[in-house]
Chains A and B, each alone.
Chain A
Amino acid sequence: MRLIQTTALTGSQSSIVLSSIPQNFTDLVVLISARLASGGSGDLIVDFNGVTTDLSSIRMGGSGATGGSGSSSSSATAIVDQNSNVGATVFANTFGSATIYIPNYSGNSSKTVSIDSNGENNGTSASQNLVAGRWADTSAITSIRLTAEAGVSFAASTTVSLYAV
């Protein structure tokens, strides 16, 4: 697994774009350590090549209170990892984590996405999500955009690293 690029925010930012992705590997892995600049927690939104169509996802999550909470389907404009990022009102210096795996990213078939994420608030609350995503586009992935949910930004020290397999 080869490190391609790393972005570490020095200030708040609404989205992070991993661009100019080389096309000579097989799979992509994105590792995220994120905190939101406002609010308690929020969604992580993922899309590719600047395109906001033909995206879908299914999620299941656990809150720590029950063995497994209900799952939900997302809209057709984003792959959504719900409540994965801890926000500004959460325990200080605490960041949520997510891993995104995209196989065959440069191939000419539709793209599948696997996301695992978690967030925790010093024992007050916690969440863990599994997400299945799909971009029904046969284009090779040349960029990945990660966006905090509408009206919220990623906080400084949020870090995203892109690896290629």
Chain B
Amino acid sequence: MPTMTYTNLATVKLTAATSSIIFDSVPFGFGDLIIVVQGTTSVSGNGRMRLNSDSGNNYSYVYMGGNGTTASSNTATLDNYARVSRDADTGASPLQMNINIMDYSATNKHKTILSRANNVVSGTEGLVSRWQSTAVVTTIEIFASAGTWDIGTTAILYGVVA
């Protein structure tokens, strides 16, 4: 029997609207973390992430995206959040984010966050962020730039076996 390399560490399915989805007490012992988010928000806004409750200006990111008409790219240096999607969306069309946090338990490197974000209304995107910290990731917060995550939004945290 092949060994499953993704371990489900936590599953969130919202039964009430919330501004932030939080995974805390992230266990040690895996190589990378993967978070898969699928849901909608109360107002349109981009998806953001903070690690270990760090709201300081310690995140830099670059993204590229296409909205069905044009392609674009942008970057920010030392902002107070990592970008994991450009535009979440309201209504019936859900946002899907596949987020990788590489080497989350390494203490000799800043943390890289890779994200693929999709919404057939607002666009498809690839994003990369860097958290300027060598700390082990123990808490992950995912929030939108405005509004709340709607009821029914799901987020699953997987650990990838090292």
CB-based contact A58/B6 at 8 Å: no
Q: What residues on B are CB-neighbors of A2 within 8 Å?
A: 2, 4
The answer for the CA separation of A1 and B119 in the assembled complex, in Å, is 25
Q: Which residue of A lies closest to B8 (CB)?
A: A26
- Which residue in B8, B64, B95, B156 is a CB contact (below 8 Å) of A60? B64
The answer for the CA separation of A136 and B152 in the assembled complex, in Å, is 16
Q: Chain B 48-63 against A: per-residue CB contact (8 Å), 1 yes, 0 no? A: 0000000000000000
* Sample of 15 A–B contacts (CB below 8 Å): A1-B4, A2-B4, A26-B8, A56-B120, A58-B123, A68-B64, A68-B72, A71-B67, A71-B68, A101-B116, A104-B38, A112-B95, A132-B118, A133-B118, A165-B158
CB-based contact A132/B123 at 8 Å: yes
Q: Quick one: given A56-B120, A114-B118, are A67 and B73 in contact (CB under 8 Å)?
A: yes
The answer for the CA separation of A132 and B67 in the assembled complex, in Å, is 10
For A, the interface residue count at a CB cutoff of 8 angstroms equals 34
For B, the interface residue count at a CB cutoff of 8 angstroms equals 35
Which residues from chain A sit less than 8 Å from chain B, CB to CB? 1-3, 26-27, 56-61, 67-73, 101, 103-104, 109-110, 112-114, 116, 130-134, 136, 165
Q: What residues on B are CB-neighbors of A114 within 8 Å?
A: 96, 98, 116, 118, 124
